[in-house]
Amino acid sequence: MLLKIAVNIPIVGKEEIGIVTNILREGALTSAANLGGKYVQDFEKSAASFVNSKYAIAVNSGTAALQAALLALDAKKGDEILVPSFTFVATANAVVSTGAKPVFVDILKENYTIDPDDLEKKITKKTRAILPVHLYGNVAIIERLSEISKKYNIPIIEDSAQSLGSTYKGKHTGTFFEMGCYSMYPAKVMTAGEGGFIVTNNRSLRDKLLMIRNHGMVHGYDTKIFGLNLRLPEINAGIATVQMKKLPKFLKSRKDNAKRMSELLSDLRITLPAERKNENVNWYLYTILTDNRDKILKKLNDKGIGAAAYYPTPVHKTPFYQLKTKLPITDWASSRVLSLPIHPNVTQKNIEFIAKTIRDML
């Protein structure tokens, strides 16, 4: 059955169409300059300003952002990077692309982010970096991660692909440690079509990332370090700049919809998402937890509601990885989580219909 209420969709309008048209007319579709083209630079300024970071470096995907950040820390064969398995596979794949090995860590029941206690147990002399994911927009346990990072002198790259706009104690995810990586895939809270960016307050890392995204070059044909073509095209940067202006409004709609959904489901025997003290979630995914996940999911989909399970197969159990690592909370959550549509195009009637469908089931 055709889904009438998508779990997440890109929301674009005449402003995005207008800027794309202007760029096409100008004819400068990309730039191999060290600082990028005009629209890339404009977007980077707006992104850095939004998250209150000194620098933002635009790249062509969230995966590229992770890959570039790892390369900036000189991740290589023989290194180990600590990552959660309960996330999208891009986090681990970015590690493998550098030659390093992903070491999978369990998650916390309370918000599905990386478990600091299990993380600390898996640190070895080979550990090069920690790569926590702010899953569904939920903020990882910053204080404990900071303690571990300082205790073992291990840098942290935040995978903030799903958490643009989420804050803890007023500070944006992606800005707590060395680098933060974001995605602008169409299903995210804002989009560039495809795209991503890295933020950092470290000038030397910023300069290195500018080279990495452009074949290691500074002035052209002067490759100084290993790099790839990770550049963000001007069209995507233009779309992203417009979307960044709309982001506060998008986030408010998501928060309002999440609040209403929780009100309608609060008396049922399911676990609802909730913000921790001092946390402000972007509500990228409104994720409930229930023992009846598969039955509810089928019912919702049959009714045209685009609910989805993120992620039914943890990364360490996918065919490519096939590891026997024991991650009990990851396994527990992967069979029970269910995400419901609350994006800005979801109406109050849609929310009531989704809630009623779940209530009728339970």
Per-residue pLDDT tens digits for 336-350: 999 999 999 999 999
User: Is there a cis peptide before residue 284, judged by omega within 30 degrees of 0?
Assistant: no
Helix axes 38-51, 234-265, angle to 10 degrees: 30
Predicted local distance difference test score (pLDDT) of residue 4: 87
Per-residue pLDDT tens digits for 80-131: 999 999 999 999 999 999 999 999 999 999 999 999 999 999 999 999 999 9
Same domain membership, residue 217 and residue 100: yes
Same domain membership, residue 252 and residue 219: no
Tally of residues, the chain: 362
* Mean pLDDT of the residues in the chain: 97
Same domain membership, residue 188 and residue 68: yes
Predicted local distance difference test score (pLDDT) of residue 362: 87
Same domain membership, residue 65 and residue 37: yes
Same domain membership, residue 180 and residue 279: no
pLDDT above 70 coverage of the chain, percent: 99
What's the number of domains the chain is made of? 2
Per-residue pLDDT tens digits for 126-153: 999 999 999 999 999 999 999 999 999 9
Same domain membership, residue 267 and residue 160: no
CATH for 324: 3.90.1150.10
Predicted local distance difference test score (pLDDT) of residue 305: 96
Q: Taking 80 as the threshold, does the pLDDT of residue 2 lie above it? A: no
Same domain membership, residue 148 and residue 293: no
pLDDT above 90 coverage of the chain, percent: 98
Same domain membership, residue 229 and residue 186: yes
Predicted local distance difference test score (pLDDT) of residue 180: 98
What is the DSSP secondary structure assignment for residue 18, as one 8-state letter?
A: H
Strands laid side by side in the 55-59 sheet:
55-59, 196-200, 179-183, 157-159
Same domain membership, residue 209 and residue 90: yes
Helix axes 62-72, 90-97, angle to 10 degrees: 40
Domain assignment of residue 7, yes or no: no
Same domain membership, residue 217 and residue 275: no
Final residue of a structural domain among 242, 272, 300: 242
Under a CB-based contact definition with an 8 Å cutoff, are residues 65 and 196 in contact?
yes
Final residue of a structural domain among 197, 217, 242: 242
Per-residue pLDDT tens digits for 262-314: 999 999 999 999 999 999 999 999 999 999 999 999 999 999 999 999 999 99
Strands 286-289 and 279-280: unpaired
Q: Read off the pTM.
A: 0.97
The owner of tokens 């809630």 is 355
Predicted local distance difference test score (pLDDT) of residue 165: 98
CATH for 60: 3.40.640.10
What is the DSSP secondary structure assignment for residue 154, as one 8-state letter?
A: -
Final residue of a structural domain among 215, 242, 269: 242
Please report which helix (H) or strand (E) contains residue 187, including its range: none
Domain assignment of residue 8, yes or no: no
Per-residue pLDDT tens digits for 140-186: 999 999 999 999 999 999 999 999 999 999 999 999 999 999 999 99
Q: Could you give phi then psi for residue 257, rounded to 5 degrees? A: -65, -40
Same domain membership, residue 125 and residue 143: yes
Under a CB-based contact definition with an 8 Å cutoff, are residues 233 and 18 in contact?
no
CA distance 14 to 264: 34
Q: Is the dihedral of CA 345, 281, 109, 199 positive or negative?
A: positive
Range of the domain at 84: 14-242
Instruction: Please state the rounded mean pLDDT for residues 21-45.
Output: 97
Domain assignment of residue 4, yes or no: no
Separation of first and last alpha carbons in the chain:
23
